[in-house]
Amino acid sequence: MPRLRLATVRPQEPEIFHSLQGEGISMGRPSVFVRLSGCNLACHWCDTPYTWFFEGHAGPHRGGQSFDRSANSVTWDIEQVASAIRDFGCRHIVFTGGEPLLQQPALAALCALLGPDYHIEIESNGTVALTPGFDAHVHQLNLSPKLRHSGNPDDLRLNDSALGDHARDPRAWFKFVIAEPEDADEVAALAERFALPAERILLMPEGTTPQTLRERSAWLAPLCQARGWRFTDRLHIHLYGDTRGT
């Protein structure tokens, strides 16, 4: 039976929860979130470091706190995950992380077990291509390619082949985390380099408090308007704060 490595809300309790989508083109939509453990990047401002910044990790994180792997991840077989999803009675599923596309074989098996009535949305950093086995199950890709301020080396944060494939995929949306107005110039360069459709580019303020989001939104919203890109807030931060399982 295929198994998934999941992040936890509390030790041994997987982070599978029903909430409103907080970001991107589906913002506000009731969804069941399944947060997977493990990531191939190390963003220093990541708001879910407990999914990858385990004790002994060499990368930096601004929070400074590393996490015990056994307390912050758990492995479940796909039948357990499917049962937890079904219990919520919601057919819109968001696989998030960490980086969920690192576990595509098990995700494909899970989606086959759930059946065709579920809408599958993926939140990914854009460095991993879809595998043929999982591709057929995916309805929407919420990709967040990382900019230089993430702290990741260029050769890790940008996979030209994968991002090029995603750019040609009509299911893909491209959400960029913005900390300073100058970050928009880097977005524009990436949009040109990878032929990202302007109508599918979203800019989101970086921040884990409502105050920071409001301050950055004040200049980011008009910047989006001027560039012809979409703006997205972080609804879950305003509603619940920076907490797990929300």
CATH of the domain at 75: 3.20.20
In a domain, 171, yes or no: yes
**For residue 161, is it within any domain?**
yes
Note the pLDDT of residue 58: 75
Percent of the chain with pLDDT over 90: 95
pLDDT band at 206 (very low <50, low <70, confident <90, very high): very high
Residue 20 corresponds to which tokens in the numbers above?
A: 């409103």
Looking at residue 131, its pLDDT comes to 98
**Enclosing H/E stretch for 191:** helix 183-194
Q: So what's the pLDDT on residue 119? A: 98
Average pLDDT over the chain, rounded to an integer: 96
Q: How high is the pLDDT of residue 103? A: 98
Lowest mean pLDDT among 11-20, 47-56, 175-184, 218-227: 47-56
Residue 226, in any domain of the structure = no
Residues 87-103: tens digit of each pLDDT: 999 999 999 999 999 99
pLDDT of residue 65: 83
In this prediction the pTM is 0.96
Residue-wise pLDDT tens digits, 178-187: 999 999 999 9
pLDDT digits (tens, 9 = 90+) for 228-241: 999 999 999 999 99
pLDDT mean over 206-228: 97
Nearest to 100 by CA among 138, 43, 65: 138
For the chain, how many structural domains are there in total?
A: 1
Q: Indicate whether 99 belongs to any domain.
A: yes
Q: Is residue 120 in a domain?
A: yes
Residue 189 lies in a domain: no
* Tokens of residue 107, six digits: 């995700």
Q: Angle formed by the axes of helices 104-114 and 78-86, to 10°?
A: 50
Give residue 242's pLDDT: 95
Q: Which residues pair with 176 in a beta bridge?
A: 203
Q: State yes or no: pLDDT of 59 exceeds 80.
A: no
Q: What is the pLDDT of residue 60?
A: 77
Judge contact between 115 and 137, C-beta under 8 A: no
Q: Is 28's pLDDT higher than 90?
A: yes
Q: What is the mean pLDDT of residues 37-65?
A: 90
16 within a domain of the structure (yes/no): yes
Q: Is residue 103 part of a domain?
A: yes
What is the residue range of 99's domain?
3-175
